[in-house]
Copies of this chain bind each other. A is one copy, B any other.
C-alpha cells in the first residue's frame, strides 16, 4: 500500500492533534544555535525516533565558518529603579537578545536604550533578535513596555555563559533499498516560536515515524540542525552523504493558515521540484510555486553553487510576508492542528511520488495491446472509457523508456497516484518492464523475481 493511502487511513483531526501536542511540548524551551536548549529539543525528538546526536567542538572549521562558542542562559531581567522586574526572561525567552554576553550592571536608561529592541508598529509584540557572531547583549521587549520605562537607574542582568563547548545536531537515517538519499532538513535553533520552526520539527518527526515502518526505495536522512551554521557544519562533515542526496526538502513555517508556497531548488527542474509542484497542485488550495532565491532558510547552503543539491523549501505563508514573523505573535495560537496535519500529508504524498516514480518500457509498443482480453478495458464498445482506463492508455503510450510516471502524470493532467496505480496493474499484467533509472542504483522492481513469485505489490 502506498504511503499516502496508509496515511489516509487515519483521521486527519487526530493526526493534527498529535502534531500540535508535540509542538506544545517543545514550545517553552529556550533554544539557540548551541547549548542545552537545542540539546533538550533533540532529546525529545529522539524519544520518538532513532536519532543520532552529534556534538561538534567550538572552534571547528567548517568551510568559511568556525563553530562558535556554546551559549547557555539561566536568567535575564531588567529591574526598574523601584526594584521591580520590568523585563523578565522567565516570562518569555524572546526577551533576551539571543546569544547575549553575560552582564550584571546598573545603568541609566539612556545607556540601556541602545540595547533594547522593539517593534513600534506592533507595540504589544516582542521581537526575536540574535547576535551570534558579534559579541553584544540586549533585550527585546514590547514597544509599550519600553514607552513605560521612566528615567532612572536600571539593574541589568543576563546570567548567560559563552564558552568553548559544542554545536549539537541530530540525524535520523532510515535505510532504503538504495543508498541514494532523500534529505529532510529543519532548523531547531529558534526559541519560543511556533511556526518558525516547531511546525517543521513536528512534521519532520512524524514523517520519519511514518517512513520508518515502510519498505523504502530511497534512504531518508532527517537532519535537525541549528540554522545556517548547523547546515554548514553538517555539509562540511558529511560531504559523502551530501553527494548521495537525490532529493531534499527544507521544512519550515508549515503550521499557519496560509496557502502552501514551495520554493524550488536552485536547479529549478529537479524531480523534487516537479514532484512537489504536482502534489501541491493536485492536493491543496491555490499553492504558489516560487523560483529559487539565495536568501531564505538552509536551502541557502544546500543550494550553494558548490553543492547545488536538489533541495527545495516547503512553507505555507512565506517568512517575512506576515507581521508575526520573528515575533512573540508566532506562538501556539498561530499554528493549527489541521494545517500541521495537511502539511504532513503533503510531505507523505511527495515521498510517495519519489518512491513510486520510475520509467517503464511498454513491452507491446506496436499499436495498443488488447486490454479487453486482459479485463483491463470496458466490455461494451461505443461509450467513452473511464478515468482508470484512460490512465492505462497514457502509461502505455508514454512508456518508451524516456518518460517517468511523473512526466506522464504531468502531461496527462492525471494525479500521480492514479498513473502509478495504472502502471502497477500493467506491470502485473506483463505489459511493462522497468527501466534502470538514471539517478538511482535501484529500479524498484529489480531483480525481477521468477514469475511464480510475482504478485501485486
Q: Which residues of A contact B (CB under 8 A)?
A: 62-65, 97-98, 117, 127-134, 136, 228, 231-232, 235-236, 266, 291, 293-295, 300-301, 303-308, 320, 326, 362, 364-370, 372-373, 379-385, 390, 393-394, 396-400, 411-412
The verdict on A384 contacting B320 (CB below 8 Å), with A364-B63, A367-B232 known, is yes
Please report whether the interface of chain A is mostly helix, strand, loop or mixed according to DSSP: loop
CB proximity of A291 to chain B, nearest CB, Å: 8
Knowing A130-B382, A134-B372, A368-B300, say if A305 contacts B235 (CB, 8 Å). Answer: no
CB of A367 within 8 A of CB of B231, answer: yes
Given A295-B393, A412-B293, A305 contacting B381 (CB threshold 8 A): no
Residues of B contacting A372 in the complex (Cβ-Cβ under 8 angstroms): 133-134
Minimum distance in angstroms from A133 CB to a CB of chain B: 5
- Find out whether the CB atom of A305 lies under 8 angstroms from the CB atom of B365: yes
New A-B pairs, 20, CB < 8 Å, besides A136-B379, A236-B366, A306-B367 = A63-B364, A63-B369, A64-B364, A64-B367, A64-B369, A98-B382, A128-B382, A129-B381, A131-B379, A228-B368, A232-B368, A291-B411, A293-B412, A300-B393, A304-B397, A305-B400, A306-B362, A306-B366, A307-B367, A320-B384
Contacting residue for A129 out of B362, B366, B382, B399, CB 8 A: B382
How far does the Cβ of A405 sit from chain B's closest Cβ, in whole Å?
15
**A131 B380 Cβ-Cβ under 8 A:** yes
Q: Whole-angstrom distance from the CB of A32 to the nearest CB of chain B?
A: 11
- Cross-chain contact A397 with B128 (CB below 8 angstroms): no
Closest to A66 in B: B370
Residues of B within 8 A of A293 (CB): 394, 412
Kindly provide the distance from the CB of A116 to the nearest chain B CB, expressed in whole angstroms: 12
- Which of A117, A367, A381 has the most chain B CB atoms inside 10 A of its CB? A367
